[in-house]
Amino acid sequence: MSNILECNNLSKSFGSKKALKNVSLAIPRGKIVGLLGPNGSGKSTLIKICNELLTPSEGEILISGQKPGIGTKKIVSYLPERTYLNDWMKVSELVSFFTDFYEDFDADIAYDMLQRLSINPQDRLKTMSKGTKEKVQLILVMSRKAELYLLDEPIGGVDPAARDYILDTIINNYNENATIIISTHLISDIEKILDHIVFLKDGQVFLSKGVDEIREESGKSVDLLFREVFKC
């Protein structure tokens, strides 16, 4: 089967600023991938190109063999770095909205995860703390049966005690043939669930490798390797 994501010599410029430079990547299906890099290294730019929010300056990106567009929106579930949901809505209304909007949305899974995380579906988003809003958004995104999940900074506002629980909930609810790409700075929290990592440095791929391979070759955790590679 084809790779879920392929970038071929992908570049993106904003004026004279090159946010991505000749990025070539192949991400197979069924993996949990950490898209890691310091501030400004191009992570969100890459994710936005996957979602057609930005267009490449050069090169191409293919999702399941297709350029980003209507076809790929059906198979990609995207959690943006900033919330886009109407915060006057109740969680139950958001679940209905997603049910109407996405054919692959499973409301039962969403309600099950909400219950496990003790979130009342009758609460309005605007009355919730930042971390709880993040949980709701993540639950909505992960309740689709997508082929590719793109999560841009999913758990930054969630307290450390709840992070593991959320990660477990995600892992137990998603389809094993799907791929999850997670952009995050919380590497130590998330590395136990990662199969593969991509390090971006100044808009270029510095490293793209299996996590087990990294540990075997270097004897280091991903978190430690990141701190060494990107030492200020």
Ligand X SMILES: Nc1ncnc2c1ncn2[C@@H]1O[C@H](COP(=O)(O)OP(=O)(O)OP(=O)(O)O)[C@@H](O)[C@H]1O
In terms of Cα–Cα distance, which of 38, 54, 104, 44 is closest to 77?
104
21 binds ligand X (CB under 6 A): no
Segment contacting ligand X by CB under 6 A, of 3-11, 13-21, 112-120, 213-221: 13-21
37 binds ligand X (CB under 6 A): yes
184 binds ligand X (CB under 6 A): no
What is the DSSP pairing of strand 32-36 with strand 179-183? parallel
We find the least distance from the C-beta atom of residue 17 to ligand X, in angstroms, to be 5
We find the least distance from the C-beta atom of residue 35 to ligand X, in angstroms, to be 9
Q: Which amino acid is at 6?
A: E
**Helix 107-116 with 130-142: angle, nearest 10 deg:** 150
Q: Which of 25, 33, 44, 182 binds ligand X (CB under 6 A)?
A: 44
42 binds ligand X (CB under 6 A): yes
Q: Which of 4, 7, 19, 170 binds ligand X (CB under 6 A)?
A: 19
Q: Which of 9, 14, 26, 58 binds ligand X (CB under 6 A)?
A: 14
**Using CB atoms within 10 A of its CB, is residue 37 exposed (0-12), middle (13-18) or buried (19+)?**
buried
Long-range contacts of 163-172 (CB under 8 A, 24+ apart): 163/189, 164/189, 165/116, 165/117, 166/117, 166/135, 166/138, 167/192, 167/193, 169/113, 169/116, 169/117, 170/138, 170/142, 171/32
45 binds ligand X (CB under 6 A): yes
Q: How many residues lie near ligand X (CB under 6 A)?
A: 11
Pick 42 or 68: Cβ nearer ligand X: 42
Q: Which residues bind ligand X (CB under 6 A)?
A: 14, 17, 19, 37, 39-45
